[in-house]
Amino acid sequence: MVLYFQLIYLVLYLIPLTNTILDDDILYDIKWQPELPALTELDNSHTFTSTRKENYQCVLPKTETTIPTSTETIAFSEVETLLEGLHAKKLCAYRLDPYWTYELCHGVHIRQYHDTKVAGQKSLLQEYYLGYYHSDNQDIQTTSDGKQVFKIHYKTIDNKKTPMLAVRYSGGTLCDINSNQPRETIVYYVCDERGNDVVLNFEEISTCYYEMTVASRWLCKLPAFSPAEPNRYSVNCYPKENARQKPRNLKKLEDERQMSLKKGGRAQFTMTSADGTTFIIAYQYASDVDLDELTETVTNKVTPSTITEHIGTPNDQQVRQHPMGNLGTDVDRDFLEGFLSGRECLPGGSGWWKYEICYGKHVIQFHEEGQHRTSILLGTWNRDKHIEWLNTNPKKRLAGNIRDRQFVSLYYTDGDICELTKTRRVVEVKLRCSKNAEKSHATSMYLVEPETCSYVMGVESSLFCNLIDYTDEYGIPDREKLMKRFQQQQQQQQTPEQ
């Protein structure tokens, strides 16, 4: 095994010394030959010795430098026939995100929608069209000799320059936050011999302007879009003297891997759904002893000490003291105090749009590009309007049973005007218990838009698991009571046992 890695290192080290260009696009295979050819001069060979003193003479390949070329355009007639064939099938592909569903009907439209189903009521459909296909609104250019050509776009995928066919879908639903300009999407088709016209990626690259990547096998019919075959060379190694065909440590390693796949090892297989989505399922074999240990580990995480009950108070009531994660730590106290005081704002989001909540102040959605910042006010805090919202929506009040209380809902109103509804934006902020004791002060956030310009923001942390116990009748956290609880718990931890 040691020789195997040493050999790889030395091969990579010596190849440049033998007038060979080392390139990431060139693949090298090590082939262990049974015996050294008799009376044959081996050019460009080197001798390697394993830790067990086994000697091998390896011949390094000679490669030639190649300069990759790329085609900038392709005849429109070649592309037109394939696109017409795709559009004639009237196929639609779907991409499922946690909230939104994206629908690509090839040659027709791209739609973003969410269907809210309420028991006993008619479902509510929220949808936006991200563009329609127009054959006369594509990247078709005319050359000096009067020929129509399609521009070939290139993107880097897996560190390789990949040719793509760009098809525009324009004239979608008007975007109120982009001067009422229609939404537009560019669909990038990429050659994939196993592709079934499924959506690989979707991204909003700027306000209401989107890009979608689709894997298609029909595009591979055009050489200009076929991925370049990697150069592959062999490093032939011959045993010398009394060495075996393969080093003993390497053979042992390969045998162990084979055994691990048969018993107690990892493996994987693939499954393809009806819409062409491929899932890679990874699994690991385990013995009965391993399963018993795993069950014991999970069970031991829940112990009687997590909830302590004191029975027999003056009013004969039960008083429960719930753990507050690591509330005795300075980090947890400072986090909650900074957040609930509004001094520390929490940002979230990883896409083009990001969002931020400053508790007791406002919730915004923003995008930063260089020194320019586009910001949309989703809502501001007003205690009276929050109470009015609770009275109108009594189901939003805290549940009576403390065991059912998993989150606090706070209503932020009077955001920026929404062009589609002509009303101000609003957002419901949910401070939810995530029960993550190992990372008590870690938070996760999400923002969804169940109705036009009406949002729901979730902020999850294990520190919020006891927040409900320190709220008033309107579900508004009492910061002073919570900080007092911190102090009491800290004093209890510092008081020595009698």
Determine the Cα–Cα distance for residues 415 and 363; give it in Å rounded to an integer: 8
Q: Name residues whose C-beta falls within 8 Å of residue 60's C-beta, 6 or more positions apart in sequence.
A: 11, 14, 15, 18, 20, 44, 45, 46, 235
Q: Per-residue confidence at 49, pLDDT binned at 50, 70, 90? A: confident
Contact criterion met (CB below 8 Å) for 129 and 183: yes
Pick the last residue of a domain from 246, 281, 310. Answer: 246
Contact criterion met (CB below 8 Å) for 101 and 95: yes
Asked if the structure places residue 478 within a domain, the reply is yes
Tens-place pLDDT, residues 170-200: 999 999 888 889 999 999 999 988 888 888 8
Determine the Cα–Cα distance for residues 448 and 457; give it in Å rounded to an integer: 7
Answer yes or no: do 338 and 487 share one domain.
yes
The reported pLDDT for the residue numbered 69 is 57
Pairing of strands 26-32, 231-239: parallel
Contact criterion met (CB below 8 Å) for 344 and 360: no
Q: Identify the top-confidence range among 192-206, 273-287, 339-353.
A: 192-206
Coil/strand/helix, residue 350: coil
Answer yes or no: do 39 and 109 share one domain.
no
Answer yes or no: do 352 and 483 share one domain.
yes
Tens-place pLDDT, residues 352-402: 788 899 999 999 998 887 777 888 999 999 999 999 999 988 877 765 555
Answer yes or no: do 412 and 489 share one domain.
yes
Residue 199 has a CB neighbour count (10 Å cut-off) of: 21
**Residue 465 maps to which CATH number?**
2.70.130.10
Q: Is 8 a residue whose pLDDT tops 60?
A: no
> What is the mean predicted confidence (pLDDT) over 297-319?
32
CA 387 to chain centre: 37
Residue 413: give the domain boundaries: 331-494
Asked if the structure places residue 476 within a domain, the reply is yes
What is the average pLDDT score of the chain?
Answer: 75
Q: 226's torsion region: left (phi>0), alpha (psi -120 to 50) or beta?
A: beta
Coil/strand/helix, residue 262: helix
Q: Per-residue confidence at 24, pLDDT binned at 50, 70, 90? A: low
Contact criterion met (CB below 8 Å) for 132 and 172: yes
Tens-place pLDDT, residues 85-104: 999 988 888 888 777 889 99
